[in-house]
Amino acid sequence: MSNGSHVLNEQVAYYRAIANEYEDHAIDQPGQRELLAAVDGFRPTGDVLELACGPGLWTRHLVQSANTVMAVDAAPEMLARARVRVGSAAVRFMEADLFSWEPDRRYDAIFFGFWLSHVPEERFDAFWSRVGEGLETDGRVFFIDDNYRTDAELIGGSGSPIIERRLNDGTAFRVIKMAHQPAELERRLQTLGWDIAVTPTPGPFYWGAGRH
């Protein structure tokens, strides 16, 4: 197994371990208001796919306007929390590793929150191919994320995609955290055939909205 796979496994282990204290680690930085307003304005209809749903914070928003939501995550502990939080028959949950997952059908919209920054460079193009395969011709993509990395997290320096995250009890895990810059990310997605506007906020958060 390559070193890269080790980190991706550790990333899942981190999220499994942190599921019950996930909200304690929210990033307290400017731009959250703008981000929430952007998600509110998304209002997807039809059948929606949510990637890396975590404890369902966004799932409950999506299901307000969607007919159905299929929410995917690799951590059973996150899915268990999401099921309790969302409690809607219109939402189905699936445990899957997004690095080997393939979409089961085409959806009217695909949403992912704070996931893209956890996709390593060498898997970026393949990830977006899978998103394209899972989207109806006129389907919409919407994502939110941040490029926030503290000095303490940068165990490999600011040029490394690998950072260290800690649980409340101090247990350390390595995860991928790509510090995407919105304008550069937008250009890169264009080269892959996407028409997605990536909008920065006054803080480290940004969102992307568009189509293939």
Interface contacts to ligand SAM, rule CB under 6 A: 8, 11-12, 15, 52-54, 57-58, 73-75, 78, 97-99, 113-115, 118
User: Least distance in Å: CB of 47 to ligand SAM?
Assistant: 18
Q: Which is nearer to ligand SAM, 98 or 196 (CB)?
A: 98
Are the CB atoms for 144 and 38 separated by under 8 Å? yes
Q: Which is nearer to ligand SAM, 99 or 148 (CB)?
A: 99
Q: Which is nearer to ligand SAM, 18 or 135 (CB)?
A: 18
Q: How far apart are CA 42 and CA 10, in angstroms?
A: 32
Q: Which is nearer to ligand SAM, 127 or 194 (CB)?
A: 127
Give me the numbers of helices (H) and strands (E) for the chain, helices first please: 6, 9
Q: Is 114 left (phi over 0), alpha (psi -120 to 50) or beta?
A: left
C-alpha distance from residue 55 to each of 22, 108, 168 (Å): 8, 23, 18
User: Least distance in Å: CB of 207 to ligand SAM?
Assistant: 12
User: Least distance in Å: CB of 172 to ligand SAM?
Assistant: 17
User: Least distance in Å: CB of 3 to ligand SAM?
Assistant: 16
Nearest to 208 by CA among 109, 75, 61: 109
Q: How far apart are CA 29 and CA 186, in angstroms?
A: 23
User: Least distance in Å: CB of 206 to ligand SAM?
Assistant: 13
Q: Which is nearer to ligand SAM, 93 or 194 (CB)?
A: 93
